[in-house]
Structure 1
Amino acid sequence: MIVTWGHLAGWIDDHMYTLDLKDCIGTIDGTYIEGEVPKVVQQAYRNRKGRTSQNVLCACDFDKRFTFVAVGWEGTPHDSKVLENALVEPTSQFPFPPYGNFKLHP
């Protein structure tokens, strides 16, 4: 799999400061990666579209580098559940921003 930023790379560079993102350390999103799994566990790996997949959560900085990746989740949980687990599970090693600088932008 090849990950590219495509047209977003220029957009991010152009809008970094106009959107009040100057203190933002990155972006986070979840995605489904489709695959085949044994029949006995297929139901757990079915996503909302009915396909078997893994739910993967990634964070990137604005230099387009991955700073966090959570893999292994079945396709059924919502992105918010995967993020919640990453935030509370010490073994996930989620890259928290410095204390007092935690902001979420829609």
Structure 2
Amino acid sequence: METTERQHYWLPVPDRTGFKWHRHAFRGKHWDGRASDTSVCGKPCAMAKPSELDWFQAPTCPGCTELLITEQAGTGSTEQPDTAHAEQPDTGSAEQPDTGSAEGEH
């Protein structure tokens, strides 16, 4: 019996070069320190403890976002809708920890 885990967490992860980071969603309650995992959008990712700057600078993966929205809507489809690339993801999302800094606000 296959079940889809409903809980997920977001984590900024580096690309293969280690210079560019993206915030991907992963299945589970929280990151448990593992070295790698596959994101909700299917990308294998190396994992490391992110800094506050990583959380701030890493853009949210639109693929993970769209798949989670689709799951939440109850359609059950794991394919991304055609509109997935039409909208820009909200990089000021709630997953960012509150650092108390007003930097970047206008």
TM-score bucket (shorter structure): under 0.3
